[in-house]
Homo-oligomer: A and B are copies of this chain.
Amino acid sequence: MNKEFHQLENNIAGEGFLPGLAVDTVIFGFHDNQLKVLLLAYKNTGLYALPGGFIHDNEDVNEAARRVLQSRTALTNIYLEQFYVFGNYSRYDPGPLKAIMQARGYNPPADHWLLKRFISVGYYALVDFTRAIPTPDEISDSCDWYSLNELPALMQDHQQIINKALETLQNELDQKLIGFNLMTEEFTMGDLQSLYETILNKKLIRAAFQRKMLGLGILERVAKKWTGGAHKAPYLYKFVSNRLPADNS
């Protein structure tokens, strides 16, 4: 969804957009030792949904996802990757979009392009929670972070999309060095370990974790962090370079 929903709505044939194809983006953040995802609440409908959008007919699909990500977070240069195409016929359900349009006082014709079957390309993004500026679109009441373990009821198969995104993140966390994208600029080793433990949903051994992370040679010690606690102050670390995937679609 972008800010010009009335344009999509009145554009009954969907001119200028790829028909039947959308992107949905699972935007992960990390805060208060919890994994969060960004969700939109649709006006009057009680429905929650992933940030998604349609693809301009002269736009790269990956670019469309990046545009969606940017319009909901005001962030650029973010870790963003495809993870799955949701293309089962059983997910075809024009109900939600119809309800949204009707709640706006618009009664779409039966052959309206937005009511046709859509295939969705799933993306996941890893963002710095503190830098994202959640921004609702024209048809949503809110754009907010929700903890993964207390999500509201979601539109269509968006819960499954989130589940699969998390699975992918868990699998790719070790191989690719992508966890850092969820951290703030500076962080302690404890912060980082907490992130890993939350994503992987298991305890890690402190000494081994620290040894491994330092061994990667991608962390730089910046300063010490005096928290006020009655104990040795931890170092603050900085990630030396962003890990963004190459786009070779």
Q: What residues make up the interface of A, taking CB atoms closer than 8 Å to B?
A: 18-21, 55, 57-62, 82, 84-90, 117, 119, 121, 160, 164, 171, 175, 248-249
Q: Measured between C-beta atoms, what is the minimum distance from A115 to chain B in Å? A: 14
Question: A171's contact among B18, B61, B175, by CB below 8 Å, is which?
Answer: B175
* Complex CA distance for A248 and B91, rounded to whole angstroms: 12
Contacts of A248 in B (CB 8 A): 160, 164
Contacts of A117 in B (CB 8 A): 18, 57
Contacts of A58 in B (CB 8 A): 89
Sample (18) of A-B pairs whose CB atoms are under 8 Å apart: A18-B117, A18-B119, A19-B19, A19-B20, A20-B20, A21-B21, A61-B85, A61-B119, A62-B87, A62-B88, A82-B84, A82-B85, A84-B249, A85-B85, A85-B121, A85-B249, A87-B121, A164-B248
Q: Measured between C-beta atoms, what is the minimum distance from A211 to chain B in Å? A: 23
Contacts of A57 in B (CB 8 A): 117
Contacts of A164 in B (CB 8 A): 248
* Complex CA distance for A58 and B117, rounded to whole angstroms: 9
Q: Measured between C-beta atoms, what is the minimum distance from A78 to chain B in Å? A: 18
CB nearest to A92 among chain B residues: B58
Asked, given contacts A18-B117, A21-B21, A84-B82, whether A89 binds B59 with beta carbons under 8 Å apart, the answer is yes
Contacts of A175 in B (CB 8 A): 171
Contacts of A89 in B (CB 8 A): 58-60
* Complex CA distance for A18 and B57, rounded to whole angstroms: 15
Q: Measured between C-beta atoms, what is the minimum distance from A123 to chain B in Å? A: 10
Q: Measured between C-beta atoms, what is the minimum distance from A118 to chain B in Å? A: 9
* Complex CA distance for A175 and B168, rounded to whole angstroms: 13
Contacts of A87 in B (CB 8 A): 55, 60-62, 121, 249
Tell me whether A86 and B19 are in contact (CB under 8 A): no
Asked, given contacts A119-B61, A171-B175, whether A88 binds B20 with beta carbons under 8 Å apart, the answer is no
Given contacts A58-B89, A160-B248, 9 further A-B contacts (CB under 8 A): A19-B19, A20-B21, A60-B87, A61-B87, A62-B87, A62-B88, A85-B85, A85-B121, A85-B249
